[in-house]
Structure 1
Amino acid sequence: MGRSRGGLTSKIHALVDAEGRPVALKITPGQAHDGRSATDMLGGLGEGQVLLGDRAYDSDALRARMSEQGAWANVKPMPNRKQVLAFSPFLYKYRNLVERFFSKIKHFRAVATRYDKDPDNFLASVKLAAVRVWMRTL
């Protein structure tokens, strides 16, 4: 999907709920920046919800958008950030739910090895794996 020195690569972006179940999924080229590609996925966050993100999502624009929607962005600040904003290490510990979701979907061979070269077909494989994750929790 995206070309880099390592070859054709892609990234899976996921927004998960408090149980680790996927709410929104997206595929982007491997060289695309995480923060810019997440803006269209965050429309579902509303009043009183918390976004837990890693350092790639640390931007003033993302924090402003979350405050407009009534949500709070608990994003680990970049080490070179001049103005350090509010951050809760206690809440940040729950970000492992996203990492555990990725671990679960990579048990599916079609997702782990990326058999599908077409981005739409690969996203369909990721969504099928996500449905299996949902079914396990119900």
Structure 2
Amino acid sequence: MLADKAYGAEQIREMIQDQGATPNIPRESNRRRRPCFSKRLYRERNLIERFFSKLKHFRRLANRYERLAANLLATIQLASMRLWLRAHEFTA
């Protein structure tokens, strides 16, 4: 599980491990014990953060007009496809 320093508390790390996942959270500066941390994996978290930021540019998603889960998922899929097409378009 990828998270930022705000989720680096020992209780949260233990909860993640109890659920069968491995926490990849950078250590806080005042922590003595150095938990396992991968910088390469943590960099990929940035891609996800930027994707959610781009999704929020779609007014229908930002204002949460959709009340049904199925409609919300369909709206997210349409917005994701539009972002993917925009990123992979080419000029001839």
Q: TM-score range by the shorter chain?
A: 0.5 to 0.7
Query: Structure 1 or 2: larger strand share?
Result: 1
RMSD between aligned alpha carbons? 3.0
Alignment: residue pair count: 82
Shift of 1:135: 4.2
Partner of 1:107: 57
Report 1:1-138 matches (<5 A): 51-112=1-62, 114=63, 129-136=75-82
Question: Quick one: distance in 1 between partners of 2:42 and 2:12?
Answer: 17
Q: Is the 8 A contact 1:77 1:84 kept in 2?
A: yes
Tell me the TM-score normalised to structure 2 length.
Answer: 0.63
Unaligned 5+ residue runs, structure 1? 1-50
SS in 2 for 1:96: helix
Q: Is the 8 A contact 1:58 1:77 kept in 2?
A: yes
SS in 2 for 1:73: coil
Shift of 1:103: 2.0
Unaligned 5+ residue runs, structure 2? 85-92
Q: Of the two, which has the highest radius of gyration?
A: 2
Relative to 1, partners in 2 of residues 1:80 and 1:132: Cα closer, same or farther, differing over 3 Å?
Answer: farther
**What percentage of residue pairs aligned between the two structures are identical?**
39
